[in-house]
Amino acid sequence: MINVGIIGSGFIGPAHIEALRRLGFVQVVALCDSTLAQAQEKARRLNIPHAYGSVEALLAHPDLHVVHNCTPNNLHAEINRQILRAGKHVFSEKPLCMTPDEARELVALAEQAGVVHGVSFVYRQFAMVRQAASMMRAGSIGRLFAAHGSYLQDWMLLETDYNWRVDAALGGASRAVADIGSHWCDTVQFVTGRRITEVMADLAIVWPTRKANVAGNQTFVHDEHARYEDKPVTTEDFGSVLFRFDDGSKGSFSVSQVSAGRKNRLMFEINGSERSVAWDQENPQQLWIGHRAQANQTLTDDPSLMNPDAADSAHFPGGHIEGWPDAFKNMMAQFYRAVQAGAMPDRPAFATFHDGANVMYIIDAIVESHQQQRWVRVAQ
């Protein structure tokens, strides 16, 4: 058995735990949260044997092999550093950290440590996204012309919607782009096999002041009896980005956390010289395949109809709909196969610290582009 410790058990920590429990060869033995009392309460509810109130205490747990960092963004760099220094395999929530300098440092540390390192870019693990990537690799989409789409949510629509992500000190200088644009970029780079090298961005703050619940705001939780205080907002609610890939092809995407009715709508369309493909996370079992001279197709996540190199990402016969928790399981399965082997694979299908750093450079270029109102090159 591989022994795992989880740091942070708010919204996403329990999703990691559930996915790990579905693997069968991994056990979550310890959990750490901001306070010992909170950790003990969460550990009891999630049925985890050991609870700790500090990262140091969790890292000292005997025979711990892997540690997941599921804390807010401002803690990612420091906790990732601590995990690497302790010589543990590390799986970090996204974004990898808050600045490009931290990203470079963490990549170097991970390489030195010789451990398996992963970042939680989960959307590339959906069966139909893996299928689109396989079609691109096999040449059936043809020469890449363009990629475009959006990632839209509505959970920050109201002035009273508030979360640590709004505060640049805790979430980072960018909010919507770093929080969800990061996922869009990773997914589309994974499908196309191309890197975004230049960006031109225009960002918007629709609520320059928000009303924060004085008792604190949990992610995606609404409190009817809240009392509020005004908080100035410096992070974007909406953004549009034009970009260029490394092969000269082009694209654009929009991100929004204030689009009423859109809950988690990550959508992309890829146009190639042979055909197009399009995918929408809210309807994840379908891949739209667009043709010029024949009727368009909708492929569903039936493993017997998928390309052989993507079919292992769908686990049930066609018609048994798989979604976000299944993509999470796929991501953990990829990562833990590497942990079992004791080394990074040559071509990992999960996002690594290299991918996490690359996306940090894209976010940084997007923020700079918006500030300077010009095209900006993405650092390598």
Ligand X SMILES: NC(=O)c1ccc[n+]([C@@H]2O[C@H](COP(=O)([O-])OP(=O)(O)OC[C@H]3O[C@@H](n4cnc5c(N)ncnc54)[C@H](O)[C@@H]3O)[C@@H](O)[C@H]2O)c1
- Applying CB under 6 A, the residues found at the interface with ligand X are 7-12, 32-34, 38, 55, 70-73, 75, 93-94, 120, 122, 164, 179, 218-219
CB closer to ligand X out of 33 and 364? 33
| CA nearest to 28, candidates 53, 47, 44 | 47
For the chain, counts of helices (H) and of strands (E)? 11, 17
Q: How far is CA 9 from CA 44, 52, 90, 155, in A?
A: 12, 12, 16, 20
CB of 52 to ligand X, least distance (A): 9
Task: State the Cα angle at 100 between 99 and 104, rounded to 5°.
Answer: 125
Cα dihedral: 124, 68, 169, 35 (round 10): 150
CB of 335 to ligand X, least distance (A): 13
Say if strands 89-92 and 238-245 run parallel, antiparallel, or are unpaired: unpaired
CB of 144 to ligand X, least distance (A): 26
CB closer to ligand X out of 179 and 355? 179
CB closer to ligand X out of 72 and 251? 72
Q: Sheet of 89-92: strands edge to edge? A: 50-52, 26-32, 2-7, 66-69, 89-92, 117-119
CB closer to ligand X out of 71 and 276? 71
CB of 67 to ligand X, least distance (A): 11
| Paired strand residues for 279 | 268
The residue number with the shortest CB distance to ligand X is 10
Can you tell me whether residue 240 is helix, strand or coil?
A: strand
β strands within the chain, DSSP E:
2-7, 26-32, 50-52, 66-69, 89-92, 117-119, 144-152, 196-204, 209-213, 228-232, 238-245, 250-256, 265-272, 276-280, 286-290, 297-300, 376-377
Between CA 42 and CA 374 the distance in angstroms is 47
CB closer to ligand X out of 123 and 243? 123
Between CA 290 and CA 302 the distance in angstroms is 19
CB closer to ligand X out of 179 and 306? 179
Between CA 352 and CA 328 the distance in angstroms is 15
CB closer to ligand X out of 10 and 239? 10
CB of 33 to ligand X, least distance (A): 5
Can you tell me whether residue 246 is helix, strand or coil?
A: coil
CB of 54 to ligand X, least distance (A): 7
CB of 239 to ligand X, least distance (A): 17
CB closer to ligand X out of 289 and 331? 331
CB of 88 to ligand X, least distance (A): 15
CB closer to ligand X out of 96 and 110? 96
Between CA 194 and CA 181 the distance in angstroms is 16
CB of 29 to ligand X, least distance (A): 16
CB of 71 to ligand X, least distance (A): 4
CB closer to ligand X out of 51 and 116? 51
User: Residue 196 has which token pair?
Assistant: 């975004």
User: Residue 9 has which token pair?
Assistant: 């058990």
